[in-house]
Amino acid sequence: MNKIHLFLLTTGFLTAFALHSKAQPDPSIYTSWENGFTTSLKNTLDMALPPFGPYSDRYNGISHIPAKNNGFRFDVIVQPSFYMRNITPLANVKRESGYHPWESTPDLSFFSYRYQLEWKDRVYCDVSFNKVDDQTRLIRAEFVNNTENNRSLALNIFNTIVFPFEKRIRAILPQNAVWQKAADYKSFREKTYSWNYNLVYDGQLRGQVKDELAVSGNAIIAGANNTVIDYLRLINNGRLRKGTLLLRYKKLAEGNTTIQVNLNNELANTVDLGSEREFALAKIPLNKIPDGEVTLSLKFLNGSAVRLEGFTLINEEDAAKVTFTEDKLNYISKRIKAGLPNAIILKYDDINEYYGLIWSDLSAEKRELFDSNADKAIAVFNNLVRSGNKPSETVRIKGNNEGWFFNIFSAPIIVKPHETATGYAYLVCGTDENEVTEKLNDLNTRWPQAESIYHRQRVKSKESNINPTGETYRFSQQLMKATALTNLIYPSFAQNQFIKHTTPGKRWSSLYTWDSGFIGLGFSALNLGRALESLNAYTMDSTRQSAFLEHGTPLPTQAYLFNEIWNKSQNLEYLKYFYPRLKRYYNYLSGAESSPTRKLKSNLIATWDIFYNSGGWDDYSPQVYVHQKKLESTVAPTINTAHQIRFAKFLKMAAWQLGRNEDIKKYDEEIIKYTKALQQLAWDETSGYYGYVQHDKSGNALGILRHLSGKNFNMGLDGCSPLLAGICNEDQTRKIVDHLFTKGELWSVHGITAIDQSAPYYDKDGYWNGRVWMPHQWFFWKTMLDLNEPDKAIQIAKTALEVWKRETEDTYNCWENFSVETGNGGGWHQFGALSSPVLNWYEALYKAGTVTHGFDVWPISEKFSAFNDEFNGKFKLFGSSSKLKSTLLICLDQKNAYEAFCNGEKVQLKKIHEGLYSVALTAIDNDDNIADLSIVKKK
């Protein structure tokens, strides 16, 4: 999508500045990828999801994102509870509070939660949000009483506005003047490049920081490194000869700061900024302003850093008119009658849209809460009971006056033993009061249709093509699917725009690089469109400042997501769009673009400068030791180099498909270089693990980092990581596989641990150390197929699915990790992200129409029959041998018996369980190493 140029009138000037598009991907990516589908992915990090969704970072329910997309959010909180009891906390997304994600469709046309009022399922309420049309959602709340006694229950629906800031500063300007924020620059350059010059944290722009005392809510830091900032053209249609440039700034350190202003690359003025530590205005006279197009550049010649917030260019005599004020935030909406006793229209000053709400319970009480904390307000006993007012009257509940909620209170709802009671409400959004009023009046006649809307949307959330053998895991997978699909936040702010974003769990509202790679991998088992937009958000084209979107561990999980989407799509437009992005990502990790990863002369990669965590494992023993002893500049882990080798192999495969032979040569050279470094410097024959490698201050390798006991300090998954890179010889492979699958070492009855249990630094009570996590198991699961060890791959997958089933069914929670000692789940209770591989394992083993292979297999084409009872595929096998072999898992409709043919010859098709088979894929003995596979029903 082309950049949008806005021409804004100032006194004597038109200003033009470029904004990144605020568009989002086209929702069609969730259903089909037609020619040109990647066009809508350009210039956005946003998602294709609708404005209605579970986007709140406060309380559970449904939110609406206004079309202006300026960070504001309208929240509707739905809370079932007991009547006249305060034992049920408001469903807070940042703590365990009695509700569970239950079902969801990928496009959010349906999603639901179960609220446990009496554990376990004795008394509960299922709340769902159902698409009616683009402007309307149906809210359905079904109470269920499975006890032998009556239950008196209640339903609260709260409505409120959420601001993207706690303070708002407004510029008061002369007529037609425009305040331009400093971050809307064309380019930002510095004399010397720091390591993060091309990897700005959290997807921000260079120099950009959040600042609520800035007019736009953010500013840029400049000046300490001879910064040059260019802004797009100003058009001097008013033929202004003399003007004043007003810069709003504050100093961040002692010392002078000199700034040079250039117009059309000609010096216009040079000034020294004052020493103010709070925001102040610098008045810079500009004479001889050229006619027509004018380019503005700000060059910081020397001195200390400043925080630059924004500027305006005006007539000199108008400079005194420019002031700044803090606006009071108005949380309270206008309440507009809709002509119905059971409906209301809300209009907030800061949102263009009108919101309408209509509810089915004509006796429900209308209330207003003048408080920022609805949970605290309704916990007061007097607020737990009806006021006795008429339904036409509105009850006012006093609080701290720092927020406002409109509240519908439906109570008491009497539910008899083993019966249910269902209530409904419709939420409407529109740009016109009359439009919303008409819609509410129409919906008031359609209550009998509400149940059919619910059933029509809910059925879309059910997984199809699951073989009967997989039914035992369906419920635990349903909960994981719902959790992964609804772990959403708005607003996140990246690349100068507000976006929707999938988070590992709602206690974390920030972006996460390695977690999001696994989120995308999980989505690849649910909906390729959701996987696609995740990959798009974290990879950057050459026009962006950053090589990729970085937050947290820089392990390149997006490379595996890139590969997996190809495996499932074989779509050339996809490959052509993403290949340059992944290549840039790879090059940065290999030391390009001022990257700090290749400081050591050993050719081992270390990412400590980017983030403290090398493999996502916070308390991984040697990693903790490195930081405790401040050895980051001289010690390299194994895992970063191992994954870089696999990354290179993925790109080599893609380059082969795209015919980029020069790139293939480069990848081959780097694979050899990194492999040599690991094999010569990191392998420890005694322990059978690769080690962290110590270096001297000049970057020369010294030897393996050892524990005080003398043992290799890397007896864990990092020490096994070269196996997934495919570089181990036969003896190394045997030893590492033995470690992975020997009980009491890395294997436990609950899966693979992070640290070898026989190591002297193993800790059963750690966070990663002593726990079983899913993500690294996924890497080794795929690797087992490369090694022609399908039984071991199945062992990993089935063990994980059993652990997940047991713990999820027991608690209804989706856990981060599991204790080696007890098997119990722990960590965050609504976790997607690193637990997402359970979705991939379920699909691979039980969903008919799924083919799974290792990392060394590149699918050229794959096709199942309409009933998933036949398969044809063509594959290229990569490796060093002219005749290669790799194992595929293929899941077919389990009602039939099958036979397989590879390159025209019948081969063994080994049944693992009903519907799931393994088959050895052997390449034709030629330069291309191509294998043709067909599977047909036995006659």
User: Where are the strands (E) in 374-512, listed by range?
Assistant: 394-398, 405-415, 419-430, 488-494, 497-502
Number of independent structural domains in the chain: 3
Find the CATH number of the domain harbouring 120: 2.70.98
Average pLDDT over residues 82-100: 93
Mean pLDDT, rounded, for 909-933: 90
- Residue 671 CA, chain-centre distance (Å), reads 30
In a domain? residue 481: no
pLDDT at residue 48, as a whole number: 98
Cβ-proximal residues to 207 (8 Å cutoff; 6+ apart), any chain: 183, 188, 220, 221, 222, 227
Give the chain's count of helices (H) and strands (E). Answer: 17, 51
Specify whether the CB–CB gap between 535 and 521 falls below 8 A: no
In the chain, how long is the greatest CA-to-CA distance? 93
- Give residue-wise pLDDT tens across range 605-663: 999 999 999 999 999 999 999 999 999 999 999 999 999 999 999 999 999 999 999 99
How much is the pLDDT for 14? 43
Helix, strand or coil for residue 774? coil
At 673-722, the pLDDT tens digits run 999 999 999 999 999 999 999 999 999 999 999 999 999 999 999 999 99
Q: Which two tokens stand for residue 563?
A: 């590969």
- For all residues of the chain together, what is the average pLDDT? 94
Contact 404, 448 (CB under 8 A): no
Q: Which pair of tokens denotes residue 884?
A: 């290669």
Sign of the Cα torsion 521, 526, 529, 530 reads negative
Q: Using alpha carbons only, how large is the chain's radius of gyration in Å?
A: 30
Are 922 and 901 in the same domain? yes
List of residues 6+ apart from 680 with CB closer than 8 A: none
SS3 state at 9:
strand
Does residue 811 lie within any of the structural domains? no
Separation of first and last alpha carbons in the chain: 53
Do 97 and 115 contact (CB within 8 A), yes or no? no
Cα-based distances in Å from 481 to 100, 232, 473, 475: 12, 45, 12, 10
User: By C-alpha distance, which of 700, 706, 658 is closest to 686?
Assistant: 706
Residue 214 lies in a domain: yes
On the question of pLDDT at 866 being above 80, the answer is yes
Q: Annotate 294-331 with three-state secondary structure.
A: EEEEEEEEEECCEEEEEEEEECHHHHHHCEEEEECCCC
Domain boundary among 327, 359, 379: 327
Confidence of residue 3 (pLDDT cuts 50, 70, 90): very low
* Cβ atoms within 10 Å, residue 202: 17
Mean pLDDT of all residues in 743-752: 98
Of the pLDDT bands very low, low, confident and very high (cuts 50, 70, 90), residue 233 is low
Beta bridge pairs of residue 169: 326
In a domain, 144, yes or no: yes
Under 8 Å between Cβ of 549 and 537:
yes
**928 found inside a domain:** yes
- DSSP letters of 255-270? S-EEEEEEETTEEEEE
20, 249 contact by CB (below 8 A): no
Q: Which residues contact 773 (CB under 8 A, 6 or more apart)?
A: 617, 754, 816, 817, 818, 834, 835
- DSSP assigned state of 596: S
Res 215 pLDDT > 60: yes
pLDDT, one tens digit per residue, over 831-856 is: 999 999 999 999 999 999 999 999 99
Same-domain pairing of 255 and 357? no
Are 310 and 172 found together in one domain? yes
Distance CA 459, CA 30 (A): 17
Task: Check if the beta carbon of residue 657 is closer than 8 Å to that of residue 928.
Answer: no
C-alpha–C-alpha distance, residues 863 and 845, integer Å: 18
Q: What is the CATH number of the domain that holds 190?
A: 2.60.120.260
**Pick from 262, 298, 258: nearest CA to 275:** 258
Same structural domain, 296 and 148: no
Q: Provide the pLDDT for residue 4.
A: 28
Distance CA 426, CA 107 (A): 19
Domain check: are 322 and 177 in the same one?
Answer: yes
Average pLDDT over residues 104-114: 98
Q: String of b and e for 550-573 (b: at least 16 CB within 10 Å)? A: bbbbbbbbbbbbbbbbbbbbbbee
Burial of 435 (0-12, 13-18, 19+ CB in 10 A): middle
Per the document, the length of the chain is: 939
Q: Is the sign of the CA dihedral 721, 723, 729, 730 positive or negative?
A: positive
Residues 268 and 209 in one domain: yes
CA distance 554 to 769: 20
- Hunting for tokens 């959330």 — which residue is that? 461
For the residues 90-99, what does the mean pLDDT come to?
95
Rounded Cα gap, residues 43 and 19, in angstroms = 10
Phi, psi of 294 (to 5 degrees): -130, 130
Segment 79-108 shows an average pLDDT of 94
What is the DSSP code (8-state) at residue 204? Answer: P
* Domain C-terminal end among 447, 462, 477: 462
Indicate whether 608 belongs to any domain: no
Residue 1 has pLDDT above 50, yes or no: no
Tell whether the model's pLDDT for residue 92 goes beyond 60: yes
835 residue type, one letter: S
Task: Identify the domain boundary among 263, 292, 327.
Answer: 327
Q: b/e map of 641-674 (b: 16 or more CB within 10 Å)?
A: bbbbbbbbbbbbbbbbbeebeebbebbeebbeeb
- DSSP strand pairing (180-181 vs 218-222): unpaired
Confidence of residue 378 (pLDDT cuts 50, 70, 90): confident
Angular region, 512: left φ>0, alpha ψ -120 to 50, beta rest: beta
Domain shared by 363 and 410, yes or no: yes
Write the DSSP symbol of residue 84: T
Segment 882-889 shows an average pLDDT of 80
pLDDT digit string (tens) for 462-498?
999 999 999 999 999 999 999 999 999 999 999 999 9
Is residue 402 within 8 Å of residue 109, measured between CB atoms? Answer: no
Mapped onto helix, strand or coil, the DSSP state of residue 173 is coil
Locate tokens 């088992």: which residue?
525
One domain, residues 341 and 216: no
Provide the domain limits for residue 176: 168-327
Task: Read off the pLDDT of each residue in 322-326 and give the average, rounded to a whole number.
Answer: 97
Same domain assignment for residues 317 and 193 = yes
Q: Are 487 and 832 contacting, i.e. CB atoms less than 8 angstroms apart?
A: yes
Please write the tens of the pLDDT for every residue from 328-346.
999 999 999 999 999 999 9
Contact 789, 912 (CB under 8 A): no
Rounded to whole angstroms, how far apart are CA atoms 717 and 615? 9
| Cβ atoms of 128 and 101 closer than 8 Å | no
Specify the CATH number for the domain of residue 919.
Answer: 2.60.40
Which residue would you say has higher pLDDT here, 504 or 881?
504
Mark whether 866 and 885 lie in a shared domain. Answer: yes
Compute the average pLDDT of residues 507-518.
94
Q: Express each pLDDT in 390-436 by its tens digit.
A: 878 999 999 999 999 999 999 999 999 999 999 999 999 999 999 99
Closest CA to 919 of 823, 863, 853: 853
Q: Evaluate the CA torsion angle 582, 585, 591, 594 in order and state its sign.
A: positive
Kindly state whether residues 158 and 289 are assigned to the same domain.
no
Distance of CA 471 to the CA centre of its chain: 29
Domain assignment of residue 733, yes or no: no
pLDDT of residue 880: 64
In a domain, 818, yes or no: no
- In contact, 718 and 753? CB cutoff 8 Å: no
Over range 360-374, report the average pLDDT: 95
173/317 same-domain check: yes
Report the distance separating Cα 766 and Cα 452, nearest Å.
49
Burial 204-242 (b: 16+ CB within 10 A, else e): bbbbbeebebbbbbbbbbbbbbebbbbbbbbbbebebee
In this structure, of 215-229, 522-536, 652-666, the range with the lowest mean pLDDT score is 215-229
Tokens 């904004």 belong to: 19
The two tokens of residue 725 are: 């890179």
By the 10 Å C-beta count (0-12 exposed, 13-18 middle, 19+ buried), 634 is classed as buried
